[in-house]
A and B are shown apart, each in its own frame.
Chain A
Amino acid sequence: MLGKNKPLFLLVPALTSLGFLFFGGIIYGVIQSLGLAPLAGDPDFTFAYYLDLLGSFDFWRSFSLTLRIAFISTVLSGLLAIFVLYCLFLIRINSKRDRSVYFQRLFQIPMVFPYIVAAYMIFLIFIQSGWIARILFRTGLITEMSSFPVMTNESFGWGIIIAYVWKTSPFLVLLLYPVILRIEYSWVETARVLGANSFRTFREIVFPIMITPLETGCFIIFAYTFGAYEVPFILGVTYPKVLSVSSYEIYSRGDLSGQPTAMAVNILILLTILMTGFLYSFIRKTHPLKRIVK
């Protein structure tokens, strides 16, 4: 009876729980943000919460801060991952026994730390009275602790970006390392015979294979860093806050009237991420990347 739909039916339990928790949450968030499910008072369908947000200066300051942090983190993380992969590639093609596997493992270490631990580590290391500042002070490289640059809890968000890059670039390396493993020695040999050096080989052979998973990975990182909470909570400033932190603040603070607004912020975060995804895939369709590379 099930026939060729069988695999689909086998997925039903997993999909149902995922659907309830994920889409259920989103749908309930949408309903709340439209004023349809207030915890106190009567339901009233309205776009007022969205309109208020879109017309408020605070929201756009938070929005631009969040976008900037997510964008810079993604780009830096991508660049660092490519650099690491290039090194792994060199190790692989230049050694008889492939040692790149061990180094690749080494790069996975940051992945075992939760984001909140990473954020707190960055705080302890980079604060003006932190480890680096103390080492520099003791060795006499800086004459006063306070002359160490402010890197955590400052309004640009460097601390947050460092934490994100440290946490997410290993993810990209993990995702893309199989590409390095797929490279056949004969390809490298051929490239060498044709006069390409290692860098050229990497650029012409490895990078084009890597580009699609790299894009997917970068999008995941962007989506995560745009919506995540704990790192900017620890390393952010009092004002302006990133969207997720300010959403939680609105939600948990004061009277209950803020809850629909907080939900509206969350829905706007989600819409921004979705739109970024669509926009990017649209650009990629109209301008295929091969042309960009050459």
Chain B
Amino acid sequence: MRKLTLTMLMLLIAICIFPLQSAISSEKGGLLEANWDSILQKSNGQTINMYMWGGNNGTNLYIDEWIAPRMKKEYGITIRRIPVTDIRQIINKLLTEKAMKKLEGSADIIWINGENFKLARENDLLFGPFTGKLPNYLKYVDMAAEDLNFDFNYPTDGYEAPWGKAQFIFVYDSNNIQIPPKSIGELGRWIREHPGRFTYPAPPDFTGSSFVRHVLLEEYGGYKRYQEKKQQGILDNSNEKAWNFLNDIKPYLWRKGTTYPDGIGVLDQLYANGEVWITMNYNPLHALNQINNGLFPDSSRTFVLEGGTFSNTHYLAIPFNSTKREGAMVAIDLFLSPEAQIEKFKPGVWGDGMVVDTSRITIKQKELLETIDLGQSVIAPQILQNYGVPEFSSDYIDSLEKEWLENVGKK
């Protein structure tokens, strides 16, 4: 009996140490040369697993109730939405699968951008370039637009299709704050005058990390100056100033800065409870959506910083080991149709920015777009656009998040 156990243990160890070596498939090129009709044909009947951040109810309902039925009806494709808290989990999974040479992965579409896209590209985790195959991409998306072709300064190269646009905004309660701050400096003053009424999610939370970058942006004196300084290689000095700023306001933050909310959901909860008076989000229509959900007070309003707030694009990509790439491409094409994009833009639905070029859509679709009433809790899209600045490059963001923990979080 002991011998048997021993043999089994040895076998187990052997299996763990030497991952089964199997040949890497080389059929990758085939699909990219196929024409769209044959892709449509092959996609019929496929079930697509879509891995996406599941923290927004509007987004989830949009997929389940608008996209999924249309996919089923028009193309016979089933969309299965699989919520995750951070798409980095899937990147890690794909990395492991790549190392183990697992060629049949479970993810077919992933919702991605920024540092995760960069990590995925650098490790060859994505299938493509596929966007050039999508009819709606070719017809409606402005392929020369830099804010779509560069994802946090990293070229997309057709390995991800733009899905929507986001811009950082703050939400405040106009009953508590008459004139919202216009700069990080003014915000700092406001925080000092109202102890305990402000906090931000701890990086690496996406929004919290962005707030930290806004502080940096101001210390650099705007985006242009930042770009210049980056080229000259003199970035560290301003980081120091940003940490000083964040440490200076720390005693006046919620819980005196002894802890930070771990995500945007918690910050929203604190705002809804009236514990803090300002929250922040990457969805410009967040205030409106949350008022409609009954979570935020009706007096909630939106403000942006005059030094600019970051705007970025989010994308859909197909993992290298997806077994249903045809279905995934057809689905992504539907996501890019003007109807789907306009529906997604509606405040009651999700309120996410459109990636289709509004000069290319039909007059009827334009009229539909103009009937959408945004109300007074949000900022008009045009004004928002004036204050939008592109994101820092993604290789910078990871190190910034680590530095924040060392210089601010632990202190």
Tell me the A139-161 residues at the B interface (CB within 8 Å): 145-146, 150, 153-155
The reply to whether A153 and B16 form a contact with Cβ atoms under 8 Å apart is no
Answer yes or no: A195 CB below 8 A from chain B CBs: no
In the bound complex, how far is the Cα of B89 from the Cα of A113, in angstroms? 25
Stretch at the interface among A85-93, A100-108, A179-187, A251-259: A251-259
For residue A8, CB closer than 8 A to chain B, the reply is yes
Is the beta-carbon distance between B12 and A20 smaller than 8 angstroms?
yes
Contacts of B92 in A (CB 8 A): 251-252
Contact B401 A238, beta carbon cutoff 8 Å: no
A190–chain B nearest beta-carbon distance, Å: 47
Residues of A within 8 A of B204 (CB): 253
Q: Which residue of A lies closest to B13 (CB)?
A: A27
Q: Does B245 contact A (CB under 8 A)?
A: no
Given A40-B123, A233-B262, A239-B409: A19 touches B8 (CB 8 Å cut-off): yes
Instruction: State whether A254 touches B401 (Cβ < 8 A).
Output: yes
Q: Are B12 and A27 in contact (CB under 8 A)?
A: yes
A129 close to chain B: CB less than 8 A = yes
Q: In whole angstroms, how far apart are the Cα atoms of A153 and B255 in the complex? A: 9
Which of A5, A20, A150 touches B255 (beta carbons < 8 Å)? A150
Q: B385 an interface residue at 8 Å Cβ cutoff?
A: no
Q: How far is the CA of A256 from the CA of B273 in the complex (A)?
A: 39
A255 lies within 8 A of B88 (CB): no
**CB atoms of B398 and A254 under 8 A apart:** yes
Query: Min CB distance, A53 to chain B, in Å?
Result: 17
Q: Which residue of A lies closest to B410 (CB)?
A: A239
Closest to A40 in B: B123
Find A127's partner among B196, B262, B273, B402 (CB 8 Å cutoff).
B273
How does the 8 Å CB contact mask read for B183-204 relative to A, with 1 for contact and 0 for none?
0000000000000100000101
Contact of B89 among A19, A153, A155, A252 (CB under 8 A): A252
A128 at the interface (CB under 8 A from B): yes
Q: Are A31 and B17 in contact (CB under 8 A)?
A: yes
Which chain A positions have C-beta within 8 A of B96?
A: 39
A9-28 residues at the B interface, CB under 8 angstroms: 16, 19-20, 23-24, 27-28
Q: For the complex formed, measure the closest distance between the CB of A32 and the CB atoms of chain B, giving whole angstroms.
A: 10
The reply to whether the CB of A237 lies closer than 8 angstroms to some CB of chain B is yes
CB distance from B404 to the nearest CB of A (A): 10
B95 at the interface (CB under 8 A from A): yes
Q: How far is the CA of A172 from the CA of B409 in the complex (A)?
A: 38
Chain B residues near A253: list those with CB within 8 A: 88, 204, 398, 401-402
- Whether B273 contacts A129 by the Cβ 8 Å rule is yes
B residues less than 8 Å from A5 (CB atoms)? 1
Q: How far is the CB of A12 from chain B (nearest CB, A)?
A: 9
Contacting residue for A129 out of B13, B260, B275, B398, CB 8 A: B275
Of the candidates A20, A37, A256, the one whose C-beta lies within 8 Å of that of B95 is A256
Contact between chains at B275 and A128 (CB < 8 Å): yes
B143 beta carbon closer than 8 Å to chain A: no
Given A27-B13, A254-B401; A238-B262 close (CB under 8 Å): yes
Contacts of A36 in B (CB 8 A): 17
Provide the residues of chain A in CB contact with B270, threshold 8 Å: 129
Is A237 touching B259 in the complex (CB atoms < 8 A)?
yes
With A and B bound together, what is the CA distance between A234 and B265 in angstroms? 11
* Residue B15 CB within 8 A of the other chain: yes
B99 interface contact, C-beta 8 A: yes
Chain B positions within 8 Å of A20 at CB level: 12
- Give Cα A237–Cα B17 distance, bound, in whole angstroms: 37
CB-CB < 8 A to A239: which residues of B?
405, 409-410
Partner of A155, one of B98, B123, B259: B259
Contacts of A58 in B (CB 8 A): 410
Q: Mark A265-292, 1 if CB is under 8 A from B, else 0.
A: 0000000000000000000000000000
Q: A8-B1, A252-B89 are in contact. Are A238 and B123 (CB under 8 A)?
A: no
14 A–B contacts, CB within 8 A, in A order: A19-B12, A20-B12, A23-B12, A24-B12, A39-B99, A129-B275, A155-B258, A233-B262, A239-B409, A251-B92, A252-B92, A253-B204, A254-B401, A256-B95
Using A23-B9, A154-B259, A238-B202 as known contacts, list a sample of 11 further A-B pairs with CB atoms less than 8 Å apart, ordered by residue number in A.
A19-B12, A24-B15, A39-B99, A128-B275, A129-B273, A234-B262, A238-B259, A251-B92, A252-B86, A253-B88, A254-B402
The 9 closest A-B pairs by CB, nearest first: A129-B273, A237-B259, A129-B275, A238-B202, A238-B260, A153-B259, A28-B16, A239-B410, A254-B398
